[in-house]
Amino acid sequence: MTRPDSVLCSLRRLREMEEERVRREEEAARAEAEARRRAEETEARSRREAEELARREAVAAEERARAREVELAREERLRLAEAEARARIEAELQLERERLARDARLDVPRSPGRSRSRSRACSR
User: pLDDT category, 124, cuts 50, 70, 90?
Assistant: very low
Residue pair 73/65 in contact (Cβ under 8 Å)? The answer is no
Note the pTM of the prediction, 2 decimals. 0.49
Confirm whether 48 is domain-assigned: yes
The residue range of the domain holding 32 is 3-76
Confirm whether 87 is domain-assigned: no
Total domains present in the chain: 1
> How many Å apart are CA 21 and CA 70, to the nearest integer?
73
Confirm whether 51 is domain-assigned: yes
With a pLDDT cut of 70, the percent of the chain lying above it is 85
SS (H, E, C) the chain: CCHHHHHHHHHHHHHHHHHHHHHHHHHHHHHHHHHHHHHHHHHHHHHHHHHHHHHHHHHHHHHHHHHHHHHHHHHHHHHHHHHHHHHHHHHHHHHHHHHHHHHHHHCCCCCCCCCHHHHHHHHC
pLDDT, position 83: 98
User: pLDDT category, 4, cuts 50, 70, 90?
Assistant: confident
pLDDT, position 113: 57
Confirm whether 91 is domain-assigned: no
Confirm whether 39 is domain-assigned: yes
